[in-house]
Structure 1
Amino acid sequence: MGAFVMATGIISVGLHLTGFEVLSGAALALAAMVWIALATDFVSRLLWTHTRWETEADTPPALMAVAATTVLGTRISLLGWHFVATALLVIAATVWPVILVLVIGHWNRRMPGAVFLVCVSTEGLAVLGLTLAQAGVGDWLATAAVVFFVLGLILYLVAFTHFDIAQIWRGAGDHWVMTGALAISALAGSKLVAWQHWTGAPHSVLRVVTVVLLAINLALYVILVVAEAIRFRPGYDPRRWATVFPLGMTAVATLSTAAVLEVTWLRTLGRVLLVVAALTWLLVAAELSHTRFRQTA
């Protein structure tokens, strides 16, 4: 359920940015509870079922643990709980290189959208680091974030060469990570643009890169929506939480970019996209409840 934490956590961030604090807090509490359960399971497998942990750790979805931790840490930092957020950053940064090497070492030619989690997890470290830097935890975090930002973009390009493009038409939900990875990259870019220490040419380059990333993100968003309409895929699938996350991340990236560039219509678009993401979250949650009810009936 790492994708659930990612989806719920980013919806919480979006609700916070748009002033819906009560709903944001409820989403954060839900994401945190599931994260604790997942973290407990992760540690228990590592300590007592090491062989099973190694088998699962070399698959792309294993990077959801890193991505979920960074998303949760980002929302917690926005609460002002910087010590907790820093601890989550340390955990994510410690686990990230180990799982990343294992995952890349087991790539093949035609892979589902989860292959883009190499980018999402890396950019997640950049976003959390920048959020903490903006909160005054340490300027060095912004410098480190630049490295993760660039590395994340490189990993996206490499992952794309391994992505099965047919997943756009027949994917079960995680194919949306293709655009979600661009969204979190655009979010990281917008935070770099907002960092006051960047001036001159570097600042201008970051603005252009961020706008380009968001534009491609939105274009792919539209393509995937059209593909979903043409090849309708009803019914619940756990990978649908990996659809909700890109929807929410696109909304947050749009809102963040709008704030940095001071573009009113972009902020309006971000709010609309957040509504779409929240409604999709409710739909997937309802489908999950219905499926569980039928299984127990």
Structure 2
Amino acid sequence: MPTLKAGQSWLQAFPPTAFAMVMATGIVSIAAHLLGYEVIGWFLLGVNAVAWPALLVISLCRLLRYPRAVHADIVDHGRGPGSLTLVAATAVIGGQLSTFHLLPRALPWLLGLAAGLWLVVSYTFLAAMTIGQRKPGLHAGLNGTWLMLVVATESVAVLAVAVSQDDGASVPLDLLAISAWLLGGCLYMILITLIFYRWCFVPMTAADLTEPWWINMGAMAITTFAGSRLILAGHHLTGWPGGDLLVLQVLTTACWAMATFWIPLLVALFIEKHVIIGDPLRYTSAEWSIVFPLGMYTAATWSYADAAHLPFLANVARVTVLIAFAAWVLATIGLLRAALRSVTGK
């Protein structure tokens, strides 16, 4: 729950990363459906059917009541990228509806909303970062949430593929999907270079090893997921130059390999912080930054195994989906306990 300053209401302090819960719930729901856990998938769809509209209403009220607070969040180095969780959550909701074959007429509207929000939030944030005169160093200004630029972009690509397939192939939608997929990959290359530099050459403490660094993996996982969906769309991709999908297949394989590469390192750092050093786990909205990558890696690996005709990789997804389920349950318990403490004051 947000920490309130003196004279600050809960609405004013409402975190821009709140939609990460919707993102995580949505992708775990999709992963559950892909792997045959239908009851869990439908249950999580029901959770998001309540959570996304509720958070959207809260965000609109905050925008109308405290527009300066919303603007201050978007133009902040640390908090700004978190505003893009709204974009990704909107696209993930569309992905859930597509996966469960519900409300097909709503999908183009959700795609339009997600793309519109991406334009407004991304360019407002990047423009502010460019012309701002007070800029922190990498240690203070760069964190894992910057990779939400990648996640939000790739989420638009995933939903665009789904809408195009429902519409029976569309040149503009296919071009949007391919362009967003490639743009997200380019943004990842830029940002991960800075992140590697910070990790390896700027001193870090256990306190710096926060949950959003798991988006290092999650950003590549959703890029793999989008690439796999594009491959499965095959030669129906009217926006893909020529008809050869070899480049698409090679790049998607590279994305899956990079996502897999991050997992042992992130697990080792998690153990270092919470087991060896003994820093206790406390619930914050950032905990969903672990759940989302785990769910997305599961969905991405399952889809990549199908697209690349590598059925043995499906066994990896069968393991990681259980881990994603457990992480979602733990994060939900933490959310409910934090909400209870906020109400009771205990």
Query: With structure 2 as the length reference, what TM-score do the two structures score?
Result: 0.80
SS at match of 1:220: helix
> What residue ranges of structure 2 are gaps of 5+ in the alignment?
1-17, 130-135
In 2 relative to 1, CA 38–292 (structure 1 residues): closer, same or farther, beyond 3 Å? closer
Pairing 1:119–2:153 present: no
Aligned partner of 1:98 in structure 2 is: 120
1:42 CA drift (Å)? 2.4
Aligned partner of 2:332 in structure 1 is: 285
Per-residue CA distance 1:155-193 (angstroms, 9 max, x = gap): 112222443434897332111111111000011111111
Aligned partner (choices 185, 210, 214) of residue 176 of structure 1 = 214
Greater per-residue helix proportion: 1
1:133 CA drift (Å)? 1.8
Please say which of residues 176-185 and 260-269 is displaced more in the overlay. Answer: 260-269
Letter in 2 for 1:121: A
1:22 CA drift (Å)? 1.8
Separation in 1 of the partners of 2:123 and 2:312? 41
Separation in 1 of the partners of 2:158 and 2:57? 25
Aligned partner of 1:69 in structure 2 is: 90
Separation in 2 of the partners of 1:169 and 1:216? 25
Aligned partner of 1:57 in structure 2 is: 74
CA RMSD in angstroms comes to 2.0
Pairing 1:146–2:178 present: yes
Pairing 1:83–2:121 present: no
SS at match of 1:236: coil
Q: Which has the higher Rg, Structure 1 or Structure 2?
A: 2
Q: Name the % identity.
A: 30
Aligned partner of 1:13 in structure 2 is: 30
Separation in 2 of the partners of 1:192 and 1:91? 21
Pairing 1:259–2:280 present: no
Tell me the number of residue pairs that the alignment of Structure 1 and Structure 2 aligns. 297
Per-residue CA distance 1:26-67 (angstroms, 9 max, x = gap): 101112211101211222233343222212233110000001
Letter in 2 for 1:89: L
Separation in 1 of the partners of 2:191 and 2:215? 11
Aligned partner of 1:40 in structure 2 is: 57
Please say which of residues 54-63 and 162-171 is displaced more in the overlay. Answer: 162-171
Letter in 1 for 2:58: D
1:139 CA drift (Å)? 2.1
